[in-house]
A and B are shown apart, each in its own frame.
Chain A
Amino acid sequence: MVNPGKRMNILKTLLNLRHGPGAAILPPEISRLHMDFALRWNDGHMGPRKFWKTCLPRLKFWNPAVPMIINRSSNNAGPATLSIYFRQAAAAAPTPTGSAAAKVNHITPLAQQPHSSTINECPAPPPAEGERVVTIEMKHQHSDAILQEFLQKTGATVLRPSPDEENEMRQAEDLKERAAIDRSIMKKYIDDKRAEERLLARAREEAEAIRLANQ
């Protein structure tokens, strides 16, 4: 735990967790998401990986009730798919908060539900009764393209930051820029100091050599 001042600067970037690509509210009929791709990025698995790292946290933040499972395997030749599970309108009356999804999931104990895995433990489950699956092929695709297709297929509403938040984001950005400048100044200072020390050391060595030669 670092000191609060430092930590608060880091927490400012919480805005990054709220706003940016992927900040969208999913319609209530979406019951869960499942991603299936490889651990390493070769063979076109970079897009899905980036989508997970950049967009999925924001999606999860705005839709905390929707389970988002990521099943990764060491098989790079395998497919990279994103499955979106739609609840059929008839099966469950869509509630505004999506707590129906939670209810459905609480029927089976948590330990037996599919969970994220790095060893291919939980491949995409077949759709349950009254569910419909839409898949997105993610292989060899850029994460932006994946996001666009995802938003289009789910019909999610994209969130925009409020003016206040935009302002704060700009401040955080400024802080980052200033940090970069400060860092370069500091680096120059340290480098100069080291160069000088090196010069001095060499001069001293030479003096020593001359002294030894004279003796």
Chain B
Amino acid sequence: MTYVVEVNGLTKAYGDVKAVNNVSFKLETDKIYGLLGSNGAGKTTIMHMISAQQFETSGSLRVFGEHPYENNHVLQQVCFIKESQKYPDNYNVRDVLETAADLYPNWDQQFAMSLVEEFQLPLKRHMKKLSRGMLSSVGILIGLASRAPLTIFDEPYLGLDAEKRQLFYDRLLEDYAEHPRTILLSTHLIDEVGTMLEHVLLINRGQLLLDEETDSLRGRAFSVSGTAAAVDRFTSGRTVIDRQQLGGLVTASILNNPGQLNGQAEAEANALTVAPVSLQQLTVYYTRLQNRDSVSSKGAK
């Protein structure tokens, strides 16, 4: 099987600091991937390397089977929409769209113009006079209308209101259904986009924490509350990913043991109050867990 993206031991170091540290994953054809993680986790650096805007320090990187650096055959199949995109000073919206139309072989002009209308973009306005939200809309429009076999969106909705974000999600899903392609979307808004993602990659401190089907993470964790003694009895031998105490009351979040999803029923039978853990909350717990582990291992040195 050939993958759209295949990275192995990918590392980007700035002096002693490893922005991306030994990351390996594969992106399959025509899936929507979420790249999740805190600020500074290394998401943007990974996307920059995939799109040949930064060079890796070590590790291997294949995009459509080849190294992307100065590789036109690969790069014309990749559309990278980044939040900090710079445009020539004298360009207006129309100029940018015309350039994009030349750049991407699958560009759909009719689709682009319908998006111009829906996102209410002024074609003659200079790019430097656009609001933050409008700049984001231009990026989203290019990302959608280019129909690139690999489309990468790096936090593409800065300054966009809820209605326009919803419009982006609706058009993305619709167009993806008709023209499947591989999409990599980095985001903080997991609650908002979670249902669109088939697969998630969670990055923290330059390392890959999770590489899983989104649906398999739902219901992975749950929280139990009760007296400290009852909670601790129940959680012994289980993986606790979070624990909060209020007086004698303890709430602990735990992972279901692999292959069995009946932890909740068992907790209820033990008179504990059970609540689900959302996908967003789960990624927060995983991230905190790793941060805590790395702090304690540093302390041990």
Are A and B genuine complex partners? no
Binding site for B on A (CB under 8 A): none
Binding site for A on B (CB under 8 A): none
